[in-house]
Structure 1
Amino acid sequence: MAAVVRRALVYGGCGALGATCVRFLRSKGWWVLSVDLDVSDVADASVVIKSNDSFTAQADEVASGVSTTLEDHKLDALLCVAGGWAGGNAKAKALSKSTDLMLKQSIWTSTIAASVASRHLKDGGLLQLTGAQAALSGTPGMLGYGLAKAAVHQLTRSLASEKSGLPEGVTVLAVLPVTLDTPTNRKFMPDADFGSWTPLEFVAESSGGGELHSRSLLPLRGNTKPRMHNMPTPNRPTAYSSTSSSSDCFAEDSTPVGSRGRPSDYGQSHPVHHNLGQDRACSCSALITIPQSLVVEQGAHVFHLPQDFDLSMPIRAVFHQWVKTTQKGYS
């Protein structure tokens, strides 16, 4: 009996993070397709984007290239790690230019990835997008970046909702890095504390316990544990729900904030804590700050991060747990 070939697409597969993800997937025996502006030298196949000036042209080009390459095969996972950074406040002369670039790098790619997933992802597959921790609040010094990443967060929730057009049972997640340890970031921030940045291997390979639930945004906070404050009792599994919304909540720095609150309301909503052992009807999505002792339940899916979660060791937290809980292993 022939071994089952697992297939993944990495959008942005030639970037520093994308190439790390491609290498990790291939090390697990997966067949990997890269979508980027160049041919990947580590993926099994590549779709090279030539249309970078038109959203619709790029979408059509990617759709055609992926369909031709995959033929009748389906994807087990689609990881969209394309993106970039540009600063600029409202006075910046290049605000429109930098914002246009951010929309191309984050919103175009994430939306195209969603469209590809609707056609080529298996039932029960994984769609992972890339947001940003900074975009959970105002980003006055980088307006275009915050705008684009906040849109990715919204897209994640929408795609995980009913009637989004994705295949049955697909898990939709976004990871929210703070600062990734890439060659470009080191070049432009040579005096920064590199030890506080998130290693690419951490994003591609980290592992953790429990199950992932769809609609989660997982902030990544470097390779050391953040200060843990305003925490529930460690041994008491807790789900956060906000007074401003019964179905959506945020946990930023372990402080839940209602998703319907305006930016000026951030940090002012009062959380209602539900003990999952007593209130099984609690249903909420969450922005989960790693690590924290937190259980979030939504339907049949439970995502649990233990208090001693090892940050040095989440696409690996995301990826391993998706494989473990929905695919029953890599083989």
Structure 2
Amino acid sequence: MKNLLLIGGNGALGKAVVNAFKATGAWRISNIDVTHNDDVDENYLIDGNSSIGPQVRTLREEHLETYDSIICTAGGWAGGSIKDEEGLESFDIMHKVCTMSALMTGHIASHHLAPSGLLVFTGAKVAFTEPAPGMIGYHVAKTATHAIAQNMATLDDLHDDNVVLTILPETLDTPGNREAMPDADYSTWADCDQVASLLKMWANEENVPKNGSFVALEVSEGSVCTKFL
């Protein structure tokens, strides 16, 4: 039995990942989140409004073990430009749910990822490829996530045979995104179950991209396709 640790395992993508790995019968799944996912083997709740350092220290000392794969699916989206207060407030939110989640994931992986294990961050294609002044908080937070992933991929704080990947969805097809953008063309959005299947394949050491890869998730005729940036 292999061990998977999810950070943000009760969000839309996290739930899809749980379902995909659980269906194999070969993975024991743990979840770190602000809410429970009843389908995992272990839930470790954190307070998103409190300092993350002491909480992670307690988790590491009292609960966490060694994991064959650690995947950060935590995140969110918020709009707003740097010109208005909405943009300033959105960064505060995005910093907590995107950047701090990624930072926590990297820290935990540096202590608990097994040799030859897989570490995956969830970035954003728009933040990687172009400016996005209409969603400044999201763009800055995801850019920071990419920086964390790049630093982890040096393997200075991991095992020499670990693999660090960052997925770059354009838009994930989630209930929250549909509510926020009711008039969008959903046919171009990445299906969470398909993304989860991709992550499961890599965690099972099949067609794994090289360490440090940033993998854009593009949609063609309803299927998620990968493009390396």
Work out whether the TM-score is over 0.5.
yes
Write the distance in 2 (CA, Å) between the matches of 1:150 and 1:181: 21
Cα pair 1:197 1:223 within 8 Å, conserved? no
- Equivalent residues of 1:12, 1:82 under 8 A apart: yes
Question: What residue is the counterpart of 2:108 in the other structure?
Answer: 116
| TM-score scaled by length of structure 2 | 0.89
Is there any run of 5+ residues in structure 1 with no aligned partner, and where? 227-288, 297-331
Q: Deviations over 1:188-216 (max 9, x none)?
A: 22222111110001110136974411111
1:44 to 41, 45, 48: 41
22, 25, 32: which one aligns with 1:26: 22
Distance (Å, rounded) in 1 between the aligned partners of 2:16 and 2:67: 19
Evaluate the alpha carbon distance shift between residue 216 and residue 210 of structure 1 in structure 2; reply closer, same or farther with a 3 A threshold: same
- Tell me whether 1:61 sits opposite 2:62 in the alignment: no
Question: What is the Cα deviation at residue 40 of structure 1?
Answer: 1.2
Match of 2:10 among 5, 14, 20: 14
1:97 corresponds in structure 2 to 89
Would the alpha carbon gap of residues 210 and 20 (structure 1) be closer, same or farther in structure 2, given more than 3 Å must change? closer
Give the 3-state SS of the residue equivalent to 2:171 in structure 1: coil
Asked if structure 1 preserves the Cα contact closer than 8 Å seen for 2:172 and 2:189, the reply is yes
Name the counterpart of 2:76.
Answer: 84
Give the secondary structure class of the aligned counterpart of 1:169: coil
Q: Secondary structure at the match of 1:19?
A: helix
Give structure 2 stretches of 5+ with no counterpart: none
The answer to whether residue 155 in structure 2 is matched with residue 158 in structure 1 is no
The 2-side partners of 1:31 and 1:162 are apart by 25
C-alpha displacement of 1:125: 0.6
**What residue is the counterpart of 2:211 in the other structure?**
214
Equivalent in the alignment of 1:205? 197
1:172 aligned residue: 164
Rate the CA distance shift 1:162–1:127 in 2: closer, same or farther, 3 A: closer
Are the equivalent residues in 2 in contact too, given 1:198–1:223 (CA < 8 A)? Answer: no
1-side partners of 2:19 and 2:62: how far apart? 23
Count how many residue pairs are aligned between Structure 1 and Structure 2: 222
Query: Aligned in 2, Cα 1:201/1:105: closer, same or farther, shift over 3 Å?
Result: same
Q: 1:74 to 1:291 in 2, by over 3 A?
A: closer
Greater share of helix: 2
**In 1, Cα distance between equivalents of 2:155 and 2:18:** 30
Match in the other structure for 2:140: 147
Per-residue displacement from partner, 1:46-101 (whole Å, max 9, x unpaired)? 00012x234xx22321342254233xx41000000100001111222222211011
Conserved in 2, the CA contact under 8 Å of 1:179 and 1:222?
no
RMSD: 2.2
Deviations 1:239-295 (A, max 9, x none): xxxxxxxxxxxxxxxxxxxxxxxxxxxxxxxxxxxxxxxxxxxxxxxxxx9446x8x
Q: Pick the structure with more strand per residue.
A: 2
Q: Contact 1:13/1:36 (CA < 8 Å) preserved in 2? A: yes
Distance 1:129 1:291, change over 3 A: closer
- Contact kept in structure 1, 2:188 and 2:222, CA below 8 Å: no
Percent identity at matched positions?
33
